[in-house]
Amino acid sequence: MSTFRTEKDSMGELEVPADALYGAQTQRAVNNFPISGRPMPSVFIHALALIKQAAAITNRDLGLLDEARAGAIIQAAKQVAEGAHAGQFPVDVFQTGSGTSSNMNVNEVIAKLAHDASGLEIGANDHVNMGQSSNDVIPTALHLSASQILAGQLLPALHHLHDSIERKIAEVGDQVKTGRTHLMDAMPVTFRQSMSGWSNQINMAIQRLGEVQPRLHQLAQGGTAVGTGINAHPDFAARFAAELSGLTGLTLVPADNFFSALASQDTAVELSGQLKTLAVALMKIANDLRWMNSGPLAGVSEIHLEALQPGSSIMPGKVNPVIPEATMMVAAQVIGNDAAITTGGQHGNFELNVMLPMIADNLLESETLLANASRLLADKAISSFTVNSAHLKASLARNPILVTALNPIIGYQKAAEIAKQAYHECRPIIAVAEEKTDLSRDELERLLDPTKLTEGGIAE
């Protein structure tokens, strides 16, 4: 018994797996692009299905698609959008630059499902793709799927991370630690002050990403092949955007300029740039946590991160900062994705960008990775770390840089002599200062109080 069936498209006949819902155009893409073995992200496929659902509703309401066919397409598209038939979308990310193969893959699957349910002849091109082109569908799916992840996953994750930082500040913020510049001891800071930098970085990332959203909500749909809207009803774009808004809960509108929406991916590049900025912020926070946790005896050892798993296959008892390390790898991946997206954005040749699938894949991966890493960093690193208070106090007492507070009273050169002697003799700065200056012990304790030194200004 044959495991294949014969399908036909404009180029001729082709064998397709007997149980496949897709047809010849999908199979040609499978044959042509055995490159990565990685299909387009599921969220992108679901976005394509939502587009087909909204388009069928719009074309029906405009009197262009009969009720029976429209209904069958709408129901089939709804199934795919909800995650059904996930194995029917095998087209590789690295395919035709317009993403035509993925568009036709979805068209063919929906057409087959609609035909099987209704018994009607339903064409992948003539009915499911009515009033559309891959050239406006794929950019629309890119914007839609990126918008969904941004609103549904990444921004909530960042708010969660920000809240976790703020809760930890409320818990440990008054404790004083040695500040560091160039990884060297510097003037003291409180945990509140140090972690407020993290909090502000995440808050700024939330603001920046929010500023991109209105541009991301502008859709290319309606521009069809080259931006002129050929074969689409004049009212299609506006009515389609309204339908898709209703299906997704997003405020979606037609692009201000379809030629730009098809030919460029400037908004995707902009979003990726903001994701890269967020990645840099997470790299900084994760690295701070790693350094603060380093030890337990020979490192900075200011905090103890939650012990999550054994850290070595040969050294018993070793525990590593695995969540910060995973976050740093995510950040590195996102920075690399941004380089690929930037290159892809440069390939808007005349009326169409021809790296759309790669841009979409990398953009969606970056958003998803950052969302997941942000939640893990919040829940398994920031929320659960404890402070090594005894070590903090001991380090502060030996910090020669505290002598900076004496500069206005004894001068920089004298203060430098005291700092060097205290360091070389491994003695508290206050003990050496008491010997080398006319200041009393009480005055020195007041002037060198680490908590007061976190307040800035000139000691009185």
Q: How many whole angstroms separate alpha carbon 218 and alpha carbon 144?
A: 9
CA 336, CA 276: separation in Å to the nearest integer?
A: 9
Of 107, 46, 45, 97, the closest CA to residue 262 belongs to 97
Q: Alpha-carbon distance 42 to 106, whole Å? A: 12
Cα–Cα distances in angstroms (integers) from residue 208 to residues 32, 150, 204, 306, 338, in the given order? 40, 12, 6, 31, 16
Residue among 335, 354, 333, 336 nearest 345 (CA) = 354
Q: How many Cα atoms sit within 13 Å of 40 on the Cβ side?
A: 30
Inter-axis angle of helices 42-61 and 236-248, nearest 10: 130
Q: How far apart are CA 308 and CA 310, in angstroms?
A: 7
Q: Is 389 a catalytic residue?
A: no
- Known active-site residue 304: no
- How long, in residues, is the chain? 460
The residue written with tokens 């609609």 in the block is 114
The residues, any chain, with a CB within 8 Å of residue 205's CB and separated by 6 or more, are 158, 274, 277, 278, 281
Given 312, 389, 424, 440, the catalytic residue: 312
Q: Which of 2, 10, 182, 313 is catalytic?
A: 182
Contact 358, 352 (CB under 8 A): no
A 10 A CB-CB count for 354 gives 16
Contact 291, 243 (CB under 8 A): no
Is the distance from CB of 283 to CB of 331 less than 8 angstroms? Answer: yes
Would you please indicate which residues are annotated as catalytic (active-site) residues? 182, 312
